[in-house]
Structure 1
Amino acid sequence: MTGRPIRWGILGTGWMAGRFVEDLATLPDAEVVAVGSRTPAGADRFATRYAVPYAHESWANLVADDRVDVVYVATPHATHHDAVRLALDAGRAVLCEKPFTLNAGQAVDLVSRARADNLFLMEAMWLRCVPAIRRLVELVGDGAIGVPRMVQADFGLVGPVDPAHRLRDPALGGGALLDLGVYPVTLAHLLFGEPTSIGTLGTLTPYGVDESTGMLLGYPDGALASLNCSIVADTPWTAAVCGSAGRIELGRGFFRPSTFTVHRDGVVAQTVEVPYAGEGFVHEAVEVMRCLRAGLTESPLVTLADTVAVLRILDAVRSRIGVRYPADDRWQDEQPWPG
């Protein structure tokens, strides 16, 4: 793939797919060549709006298109497993939106499939790719705030009240945790790894998905992560990484920051500005293309092991608060989170 643009196929035609394509348009070494939808009309509308050369009336036709190097899956997350599996079976590299799957069992199935045929696979978790988060991790690793001891993060919004909406439908993986809580959990995992204990408190809708969930994660060295998510409360969307010699604060939109502040001795010691490009999707796309050109089958920034580990934490949280999806009956994780 050296010497020519990486050719993208877009699986899905919703809002997220459109934003991703707009960001790809800013990259001279990326080319969107095809889009696939479950309806001809949907594919045609998207192709016309974003000037995509080829519109496919099915996912199967998209992944069979040999003009496509890598497929970006932007469908609702209840369909991620089927869509990614279809692309992998066709021999395509895949970038799949978060949450990667509904549960860790589905994720393990996809990872095993990709590794069996040496195919590239990555979760589109932009938090791990944006420059400011990467810089934050470097500073924490260099001891800028001493020994990191605590992470605090929240992501809550007032979501739709219609019980038919996907955020409130168990069959579609509804609830706050998978849509929003995945970001605080990912930040904590990025800094502390896997917890050894999980405490939870959740409030559920009459339909069985979580409206609000609180999590307290404990780690072997005594570190803690206090995390919250909600679809009925507009929370600050902020995060803080606290250590023995200071803290780093991320403002509203911590999952895609362009700046953060380092505090020492109770005062601002440094304001770090590391802007993201475009809408923030650019950085995960650049990482995918870097990996493909290097012949890698997974990204060192968003490893498959980390993706599965985060889903195991989310599975454990759901188990504790009583949220169960129909897909859980079929896809069991053979190595569940032990806590």
Structure 2
Amino acid sequence: MTRWGILATGHIASRFAEDLRLVPDAELVAVGSRAAESAQRFADTYGAKHAYGSWVELAADPEVDVIYVATPHAAHHEAAMTCLTAGKAVLLEKPFTLDLASSTELVDTARAAGVFLMEAMWMRMNPMILRAVQLIADGAIGTVRGVRADFGVAGPFPPEHRMRSVALGGGALLDLGIYPISLAYLLLGVPQHIRSWAKLGPEGTDENTGILFGYDTGALATLSCGMVGASELSASITGSTGRIDLPEPFFRPGSLTLHRDGVEPETISTEVVGNGYQYEAIEVQRCLAAGLTESPMVPHSTTLEVMALLDTVREQIGVRYV
């Protein structure tokens, strides 16, 4: 049995707790928050035995094997460091931190302590995403020449909302843009050329952002994210002999459509169960059982390379965090 703790009590923490019930040999043991009352309400709702009014107390609980950190991303570094230095394995919500330097510090800390650490990029463990990757590896659409992906939400959000606040690492890029960027990285790797543009809001965070990745192979990734209108949330992967379309939401699809030259389109689907967070919990438990300190599905190198891409885009669009 893997004994879980959850750090934070917001919306994402709740969805993860719901999905943890779908994971074999998983038990939610404890929850920690900076507010004891919030922790107790969460524990009562999801059946955790212990509720703590501080992160330090949660990290010190000897009954907890691994902690899922679900705070807003501006607090990721502090929360994860609290857990890692206490010797606890960590599943850390994406994006890892606000920049490459602080992400690297977490990875270095985990490696030095021999403690498991993984970014919770749940998209990479989605069954249909994995199926798309396998189809491409099998040559179903030839060589990948292009990726198109967009993640836009309608808003509007008040100035103090985490999506707009500079202090909270707000803006579309880190919260939404990480998905299109991660998809392009998964399929094409690190681009040799990056061009970005954004409309910034009054707080200095990005409201609408366009990103173009160019590869020396000739491949292109056309990516966008924003909080000025609800987009289709779909993605398309174009190859030299076909195409794979991922429907809404492309980061948690329940199906895909395979288009091949001279062949009728084929839709492949799977039953959608839960919120989609159970797959990352299953991977964490598999790694812990095998004695691994990082996941081969989301290795530290992947997290750091994607964080470097986010840093480059953020620099180009002129977003600065405080």
Under a length normalisation based on structure 1, what TM-score does the superposition of the two structures give?
Answer: 0.93
In the alignment, the residues of structure 2 paired with residue 161 and residue 107 of structure 1 have an alpha-carbon distance, to the nearest angstrom, of 27
Does residue 1:68 correspond to 2:68, yes or no?
A: no
Counterpart of 1:175? 171
Counterpart of 1:313? 309
Q: CA deviation at 1:302?
A: 0.7
Aligned counterpart for 1:289 among listed residues 280, 285, 308: 285
In the alignment, the residues of structure 2 paired with residue 266 and residue 103 of structure 1 have an alpha-carbon distance, to the nearest angstrom, of 46
The answer to whether the Cα contact below 8 Å between 2:157 and 2:163 also exists between their aligned partners in 1 is no
The answer to whether the Cα contact below 8 Å between 2:194 and 2:211 also exists between their aligned partners in 1 is yes
The answer to whether the Cα contact below 8 Å between 2:122 and 2:276 also exists between their aligned partners in 1 is yes
In the alignment, the residues of structure 2 paired with residue 123 and residue 275 of structure 1 have an alpha-carbon distance, to the nearest angstrom, of 25
In the alignment, the residues of structure 1 paired with residue 282 and residue 234 of structure 2 have an alpha-carbon distance, to the nearest angstrom, of 26
Percent identity over the alignment? 55
The answer to whether the Cα contact below 8 Å between 1:38 and 1:58 also exists between their aligned partners in 2 is yes
Counterpart of 1:162? 158
AA at the equivalent of 2:24: P
Equivalence map 1:1-339=2 (5 Å):
5-265=1-261, 268-326=264-322
In the alignment, the residues of structure 2 paired with residue 202 and residue 40 of structure 1 have an alpha-carbon distance, to the nearest angstrom, of 40
Of 219-228 and 181-190, more deviation after overlay is shown by 219-228
AA at the equivalent of 1:39: A
Q: CA deviation at 1:268?
A: 4.0
In the alignment, the residues of structure 2 paired with residue 154 and residue 277 of structure 1 have an alpha-carbon distance, to the nearest angstrom, of 24
In the alignment, the residues of structure 2 paired with residue 242 and residue 152 of structure 1 have an alpha-carbon distance, to the nearest angstrom, of 8
The answer to whether the Cα contact below 8 Å between 2:3 and 2:29 also exists between their aligned partners in 1 is yes
The answer to whether the Cα contact below 8 Å between 1:261 and 1:268 also exists between their aligned partners in 2 is no
Q: CA deviation at 1:61?
A: 0.1
In the alignment, the residues of structure 2 paired with residue 220 and residue 299 of structure 1 have an alpha-carbon distance, to the nearest angstrom, of 29
> Is there any run of 5+ residues in structure 2 with no aligned partner, and where?
none
The answer to whether the Cα contact below 8 Å between 1:277 and 1:283 also exists between their aligned partners in 2 is no
The answer to whether the Cα contact below 8 Å between 2:147 and 2:184 also exists between their aligned partners in 1 is yes
Under a length normalisation based on structure 2, what TM-score does the superposition of the two structures give?
Answer: 0.98
In the alignment, the residues of structure 1 paired with residue 205 and residue 275 of structure 2 have an alpha-carbon distance, to the nearest angstrom, of 30
Cα deviation 1:159-217 (Å, max 9, x = unaligned): 23311111111110000000100000000000011011101111000110000000000
> Is there any run of 5+ residues in structure 1 with no aligned partner, and where?
327-339
Q: May I ask how many residue pairs the two structures share in their alignment?
A: 322
AA at the equivalent of 2:289: R
Cα deviation 1:267-308 (Å, max 9, x = unaligned): 643211134432100100000000000001111111111011
Q: CA deviation at 1:25?
A: 1.1
AA at the equivalent of 1:300: P
In the alignment, the residues of structure 2 paired with residue 15 and residue 178 of structure 1 have an alpha-carbon distance, to the nearest angstrom, of 17
In the alignment, the residues of structure 2 paired with residue 192 and residue 182 of structure 1 have an alpha-carbon distance, to the nearest angstrom, of 15
Cα separation, partners in 2 of 1:267 and 1:157, compared to 1, 3 Å: farther
In the alignment, the residues of structure 2 paired with residue 51 and residue 243 of structure 1 have an alpha-carbon distance, to the nearest angstrom, of 47
